[in-house]
Amino acid sequence: MEEELDQNASPDSISFGDFMPSASLVGLIFSVVTFAISLAMGYYQISSEPSGSLLSPAILSGTVVCLISILAGVLAVWHFTKEVNPYIKLGQGAALGFLTGAVMVVFTAVFGEFWNFIDPEYTEKLVEATIANVEAMDLPDAQKQPMIDSMADSVRQQETFLSQVLWGIPVTGVLNLLTGMIGVKIFAKKDRQETF
Amino acid sequence: MNNSEISSQWAERLNTPWVERKGFSHWGMALLWLVVVFVTSQVVVALVAIGVLFVTGDVTNAEELLTALETRLDVLFIGNSFGQIFILGLASFIVAGLHVGQETRAQFLRFRWTQETPFYIIAGAILMLVIQPMVMFLGYLNSLVPAPEMLEEMHRSQYQMFEDFLTSDGVFLIGIFHIALVPAFAEELLFRGYIMRAFEKSGGIIVALILSSLIFSLFHLQLTNVLPLATLGLVMGLLTWLSGSIWPAAVAHFVNNGSAVVMATTMPDRAFADITPELLPPLWMLIGSAVLTTILVKVLYDKSNYKLPA
């Protein structure tokens, strides 16, 4: 199959629609994984005693989710080179990476909305757990209140569909755009026209 | 493949812009560069400001630094000008090289001076003055659109920073340099030189004019001022396109920002007041501004060699 792809393929024949299978599949898988991680860490924070540590499970999950998310661009390009066209160019990889990031954000936001039906109190419980964690920190009271306000706002905003999509698509999209280009450098075959 | 075929393929490759060879779209690369500019210019502002504060010995520890970064506006303006010159200006000039094939960077960015250029420079400067009542009215209209509290707060703090800086003693020339001269060249190079040209290559001049002016207004992070900024961006885009040169827009930008500095230093109460219906120019002035702006744009369009597609 790979040989068949190799013979018929050319980077110039790639259209935007060709990106959709790889972007959708990889975006969906990554959104399931990252959503599950952040949900698990969120419930862990809700159920555990406030530690007073800056590295709370919710913050830790944000970092882990971010690190995992940026791999989506590389994997989408890998999938594309295996299944669609091995001769993808740098810019096409960038577009595929961005699209994968965008798909991932949209799916994650949809899962978030879905989870609101299952557990409508999740966001508020997470906000309360976050506040309790800040209150347990060894900080002067004057510094605590602004920190509590900003963290509570941040958690509430992260849980709304619109803000997730508005902020998530550019940020996750651009990060995956960069990793999509890395994916091209790793997995794409060099264009035959460029070999001389 | 014989030698002549190989050399003709190489010539074709060299005449094809890097972005096209690598499968990027011109607009996509321009948007990507905007993201890079946005992030790196903020980093440069912070690094330069911190560097200046430590080198001059004005701060010695982190606590003093945090306080100084909120109060030492002169240092922040120095950092901002560094960011504008080196990232918006110089780096964009270099990146423009990725979009050129047969033409040079200077041609791509419309660094061009012809016999007609002085005419467009004068007309552009007059246009900037004539359009001001309309811009004020658009600012008022924009203020009627509800914006998130966070953005309004950001806008207020930006204006407070300008007011604090421009109402201190002996800052007129420094203000002209940081607020008028540097942005006039750096922002024009980025928005009218690079962004508009890249969008023009992808979608034609109308798309380029509209999108580059919108991006110009959004880049200023003043959602409460989008309408006037986008209008000014559109006018400066038109000036650049019709004259085939970036210089008329750069001078017009300087006139616009320079007159704001003059007004802020001479009439701060009026310049920094919230726009209310009472402070708006009278109706005859608004109508006059709209009519004169239209006539001037029509004159420039008729004189230009560039025409809109039929």
pLDDT tens string B212-230: 999 999 998 877 789 999 9
Instruction: With beta carbons under 8 A apart, name residues in chain B contacting A93.
Output: 23
pLDDT at B233 over 80: yes
**Residue B67 reports pLDDT greater than 70:** yes
- A196 → closest Cβ in B6, B21, B28: B6
pLDDT of A196 reads 39
Asked if residue A189 has pLDDT above 90, the reply is: no
pLDDT at A106 over 60: yes
Q: Does A11 touch chain B (CB under 8 A)?
A: yes
Any idea which residue has 């992808």 for tokens? B202
Tell me if residue A88 falls in helix, strand or coil: coil
The answer to whether the CB of A5 falls within 8 A of the CB of A81 is no
pLDDT, residue A195, reads 44
Cα–Cα dist B186/B163, whole Å: 23
How many C-beta neighbours within 10 Å does residue B278 have?
6
Which segment of A78-87, A112-121, A160-169, B144-153 scores lowest on mean pLDDT? B144-153
Q: Exposed, middle or buried, A114 (CB in 10 Å: 0-12/13-18/19+)?
A: exposed
Indicate the residue type of B77.
F
Confidence of residue B112 (pLDDT cuts 50, 70, 90): very high
Mean pLDDT of chain A: 84
| Residue showing tokens 């209209």 | B141
Other residues' Cβ atoms within 10 Å of the Cβ of residue A119: 11
Short-list B122, B101, B253, CA closest to B191 = B253
Average pLDDT in chain B: 89
- Residue B230 CA to residue B210 CA, distance in Å, equals 8
Cβ distance of A91 and B32 shorter than 8 Å: no
Long-range contacts of the stretch A1-4 (C-beta < 8 A, 24+) = A2/A82, A2/A86
Six token digits for residue B187: 């922002």
Using the Cβ of A170 and the Cβ atoms of chain B, whether some distance falls under 8 Å is answered with yes
- Which is more confident, A172 or B12? A172
Residues A78, A142: Cα–Cα separation, whole Å = 51
What tokens does A72 get?
Answer: 């989506």
DSSP state of A41: H
Tell me the percentage of chain A whose pLDDT exceeds 70. Answer: 89
Q: How many CA atoms lie within 13 A of A53 on its CB side?
A: 10
Q: Which residue has the higher pLDDT, B272 or B181?
A: B181
Residue ranges of B 183-242 with Cβ closer than 8 A to chain A: none
ipTM of the complex: 0.75
CA distances B91 to B37, B42, B194, B229, B247, Å, are 9, 14, 11, 24, 19
Contacts of B19 in chain A (CB under 8 A): 91
Which candidate from B9, B28, B35 shows the least CB-CB separation from A91?
A: B28
